[in-house]
Amino acid sequence: MKALSNVFVLCSLFFSAQAACPFANQNNGKALMTNSDAKIPTTKDVADAETTTPNNCKCTSKCSCGATCDIGLPVPIGETKDWCNTADNCGEYSLTSGYWDYCLYLDSSKPDYVAKTWEEKTNEIMDQVIEEPSDGIFPNVAYMFSESIVTSFDDQWDNMPVGRQKIIHGVGAVCKFTLDITDSPYTGMFKNGQQTGIIRIGPALDIANGAGVPPGAGIKFLRSGITSGNFVLLHSLAAQPSYNIFDPELFTLYNHIPGPSSASEQLLVNKFLQGSKCPTKVGLSDLARFDQEGNEVEPIFPFKVSIRPTGEINFREEESPILEFMQQFEDIPAGTELYSFRAHANPEDVEGTELAKLVVVDGCFPSKYGDEKLFFQHQRVEEDIEMKPEWESGYLTECT
C-alpha cells in the first residue's frame, strides 16, 4: 500500500493547488464551473441521449463534476454531482460556464430496455462481455478525484455513462452464475429457488510491482421490468500478499468491510463520503424488495452477505503480470462451485449461514466491456438502516 499512499498524497496536493481559484465566485450558492471544464463539445463529447436533468434540459457536453469535484475531503453527502452544459438556455447559469444542469441516469429514460425480461437483459450483457477480451490496463487512479462518487450510488443503469471511467476495479473477469437457494428466511433475490446473476471479479487496483492483491467483486441480478439489483464486495481496503484470490483462508469478500487503517485508505474513504455516510458498507434491502421476475414484496434481508471461496479453484500465489493473472479466469470451467454464498442474519452473526453455492454457468471472461462499461450500482446502507434501525450501531461501526 506504500505506492498507493504516495499516489493519493500527490493527488491530494495537486487537486488542492488547482481547487482554490475556480471556487472563488459563487452563483446562488453553487460553485461556478471553469471554462476549461465547459469546453465546446464535439459529438463524441456529448452525454448519452438517455441522460436527463432536474430541469429536463438537453446536455451538450459529457457529464462530469470536473473542477467542482473535491479532493477527497468530507463534503455534504450527495452534493458533489455530475453536471453538463445544456442547450436552449435551460437549467442553471454561471458567468464562466453558461447554462448547465445536474445529470440524472434514470432507468425511466430507458423504458424499452427496462421492460425486457431478466433473461433477455442477462443475455444481452453476456453477449457484450465475450465480444472483446480485457486489455489489462488500469486507469490512472488520480482521475478518481475528478469523478463524482454520487454517481456510483445514484446511477440506475447497467452501463456506465459516456466519459466515466472505472477507476477502482478497472480490470476484471465476468461470470454468469446461479444460486440454488434453500432454507432461506429472506425475500426477493435471497428467497428460495434458483437465482441467476452476473459477478465481476478482479483486483481493486493495479497489482504490478509486487503491490499485492486487494480482491473485490460486483454482483448484479437482472430483473424483469425493473432496475437490476446490485451490490459490491471487498475483503478489505488493503492489498494482501498472496495472489491466490480464491484461497478460502484469506479472501472471503463482504459487502461490509473494516474502516481505513492508513492515511491512503482514509483519503479513499473520504472521497466516498460524497455518496454515503458509511462508505465501507453497501445496502441489501433493494435486493430483497423485488424478485427476479420483478414482483415486489415487503423486504426481509440479512444484515450482510459474504462470499467465501470454496477452494475448488486456486490461482498462483506468486505475483503475475496482469494479463497472465487474468488469463487464469479463462481456465474456470462451467459448473464450478466458486463461492459459498452466505447470509449473516444480524450484527452478531459472524460466521453466517450458507444460502447456496455460487455456480459458474458458462465460464469466466476477462472483458473489455466489463472493464469499461458494465456498471454495478451501490445501494446506500442508510436505506437498510431506515428499515432496520435496531441494527444501526452495527451498520455504523467502522464506517470511516
**3-state SS class at 9:** helix
- pLDDT for the residue numbered 7: 42
User: Side-chain half-sphere of 383: how many Cα atoms within 13 Å?
Assistant: 16
- Mean pLDDT for the chain overall: 87
- pLDDT for the residue numbered 10: 38
Answer left, alpha or beta for residue 336, where phi above 0 means left and psi between -120 and 50 means alpha.
beta
Q: Where are the domains of the chain?
A: 2-102, 107-395
Confidence check: pLDDT of 76 > 80: no
User: What mean pLDDT is predicted for residues 380-396?
Assistant: 97
Match 459563487 to its residue by C-alpha cell: 26
Per mean pLDDT, which range of 127-131, 208-212, 325-329 is the poorest? Answer: 208-212
**pLDDT single digits (tens) 227-262:** 999 999 999 988 888 999 999 999 999 999 998 888
- pLDDT for the residue numbered 65: 85
Helices (H) and strands (E) in the chain, counts: 10, 13
pTM, entire model: 0.88
**pLDDT single digits (tens) 77-123:** 777 899 999 999 999 998 988 999 999 999 999 999 999 999 999 99
- pLDDT for the residue numbered 32: 36
For 292, phi then psi, to 5°, come to: -65, -25
The answer to whether the beta carbons of residues 294 and 225 sit under 8 Å apart is: yes
Q: How far apart are CA 197 and CA 212, in angstroms?
A: 28
Confidence check: pLDDT of 293 > 90: yes
- pLDDT for the residue numbered 30: 40
